[in-house]
Amino acid sequence: MKPSALSALGRRTTLPPISWLMHAALSRPKLISLAAGFTDNATLPVEISRRLLNRVLRSPKTGRPALQYGITAGETNLRQLTARHLQKLDGVSVTSKSHSWERLMITGGSQQLLYMTMEALCDEGDIVLVEDPTYFVFLSILQSRGLRARGVGSLFARNRACHWRNNGCKKALERDGLDLKHLETVLQRLKKSGELRRVKALYLVSYFQNPTGVTTSFEKKCGILKLLRQFERAAGHPIYLIEDAAYRELPFVRGRADLPVSRAERQLGPTIAPSALMVPGAVDRVIYTGTYSKPYAPGARVGFGILPEPLFTTVQYIKGNHDFGTANLLQQLLASALETGLYDRHVTKIQKRYAQKAQVMKRALAEHFPSNVEIWEAGGGLYFWARLPRHIPTGVKSKVFQAALKNDVLYVPGEICYADDPSRRKPDHEMRLSFGSASEADIREGIKRLGKVLRKLL
């Protein structure tokens, strides 16, 4: 082995799948990417942002603070507006302690917050429980930091009756997230092996999950927190629930995206399921992460989170070392969007747009995919999840992936969404299909190409 000055983390960290997926999408102009979770290009708020930035920079009095360094935890105004926004989504009063702006931090995307949370909570060898499957970039953080992940089955993965298309069955049955029985089994197993004290958190993508589209019900969130608490005594410390609500504001809404948004439509009310912050006792156990990337613009890259003490203070100190504050100009842009109501108007518009694009993908899948491919359809978010027959792998080296690439279409291989968990075999016959950034014509063409590949190989 060549001598190297790299740290253990440096040596361990490999090219994250997200980097090569994004590179492939951007470097091959003819390629239709149904892979990366980019947002819809056509509806990115260019005009709105120009107006809002003009507003922020209209005078030295408003412009100078925006162009200056700010506060590590984020601008007070944006923290207050974001807390109010979350209160509205959860339908709680302004005085609610769980949603208080003092517990809320603004970060460089929610990705930064997830990373810092892992830094604050976990030492090398510690264990984080994750859904099977889950957001693969979070798994990269765990791998890079030398942490171990244990997969917990989600109900939909174990119940074969709950998908949209199973040999002609087009009814979506109830799917409400994590399998609590399996969570209990995993915790019992870890207790028995003496590893419970290494378990620090459970990571849950709770709304229109990346990658499956599943939304976790409030009852499940209560059940998860109850179980985690039960095992805390044996663990000897709190076990946190990290609720990643990145897609919360993207439920599908029917209607035409190109028509003006009405006043009634602009009043974003409580969403499908309340957040885990609403569970009794959540104040000191739930870490809630959210983002303005998906509902507004990933290029602005502003995220946020609510953290219990002592985590809030620790993460704030860590952020002090990372960047001592998220870009002020971008925070002002978001604050301005929220204050003027333009944010809500934009969100309603893109909810309709994604509903429309999801329909386009659904129709194309029905037309072009072989009937023995099972497909899960969400009520929001950016993804469809497809499962091929067990003997047809979809990984990067598989015939399916290589043939798809040859035909200039890209998907996310399902296997990268599963943690390296030695207690079970990693499923390798699934794929995530995104309708986020591709145009409607490209969605149709991409699914057609992929369908052709699959028909040939199945």
Ligand X SMILES: Cc1ncc(COP(=O)(O)O)c(C=O)c1O
Contact residues for ligand X (CB under 6 A)? 37, 109-111, 135, 205, 210, 244, 246, 291, 293, 298, 301, 303
d(CA 223, CA 202): 13
d(CA 75, CA 62): 13
* Residue 227 Cβ vs ligand X, minimum distance, rounded to whole Å: 22
Instruction: Please identify, using beta-carbon distances, which residue of 148 and 301 lies nearer to ligand X.
Output: 301
Instruction: Please identify, using beta-carbon distances, which residue of 37 and 325 lies nearer to ligand X.
Output: 37
* Residue 131 Cβ vs ligand X, minimum distance, rounded to whole Å: 11
**Measured at CB, which residue is nearest to ligand X?**
109
Residue whose tokens read 């994004």 = 22
Structure token pair of residue 39: 């947002």
Residues 334, 296 contacting (CB under 8 angstroms): yes
Residue ranges of alpha helices (H) inside 369-439 are 399-406
Cα 209 off chain centre by: 6
Instruction: Please identify, using beta-carbon distances, which residue of 318 and 457 lies nearer to ligand X.
Output: 318
Instruction: Please identify, using beta-carbon distances, which residue of 18 and 282 lies nearer to ligand X.
Output: 18
d(CA 70, CA 334): 15
* Residue 48 Cβ vs ligand X, minimum distance, rounded to whole Å: 19
* Residue 149 Cβ vs ligand X, minimum distance, rounded to whole Å: 15
* Residue 114 Cβ vs ligand X, minimum distance, rounded to whole Å: 6
d(CA 139, CA 183): 18
CA neighbor of 207 nearest in space, from 250, 174, 266: 250
Largest CA distance in the chain: 65
CA neighbor of 84 nearest in space, from 102, 105, 100: 100
Instruction: Please identify, using beta-carbon distances, which residue of 112 and 336 lies nearer to ligand X.
Output: 112
Instruction: Please identify, using beta-carbon distances, which residue of 293 and 331 lies nearer to ligand X.
Output: 293
Cα 238 off chain centre by: 24
Residues 38, 357 contacting (CB under 8 angstroms): no
Instruction: Please identify, using beta-carbon distances, which residue of 82 and 210 lies nearer to ligand X.
Output: 210
* Residue 215 Cβ vs ligand X, minimum distance, rounded to whole Å: 13
Identity (one letter) of the amino acid at 372? Answer: N
* Residue 404 Cβ vs ligand X, minimum distance, rounded to whole Å: 21
Instruction: Please identify, using beta-carbon distances, which residue of 373 and 416 lies nearer to ligand X.
Output: 416
Residues 100, 74 contacting (CB under 8 angstroms): no
d(CA 318, CA 315): 5
Residues 79, 73 contacting (CB under 8 angstroms): yes
* Residue 109 Cβ vs ligand X, minimum distance, rounded to whole Å: 3
Q: What is the helix (H) or strand (E) element at residue 232, kind and residue range?
A: helix 218-235
Instruction: Please identify, using beta-carbon distances, which residue of 23 and 399 lies nearer to ligand X.
Output: 23
Residues 102, 77 contacting (CB under 8 angstroms): no
**Residues contacting 303, CB < 8 A, separation 6+:** 106, 107, 108, 109, 110, 111, 112, 113, 289, 290, 291, 292, 293
* Residue 293 Cβ vs ligand X, minimum distance, rounded to whole Å: 3
Residues 393, 400 contacting (CB under 8 angstroms): yes
Cα 3 off chain centre by: 38
Instruction: Please identify, using beta-carbon distances, which residue of 36 and 388 lies nearer to ligand X.
Output: 36
Structure token pair of residue 99: 């949603």
* Residue 242 Cβ vs ligand X, minimum distance, rounded to whole Å: 10
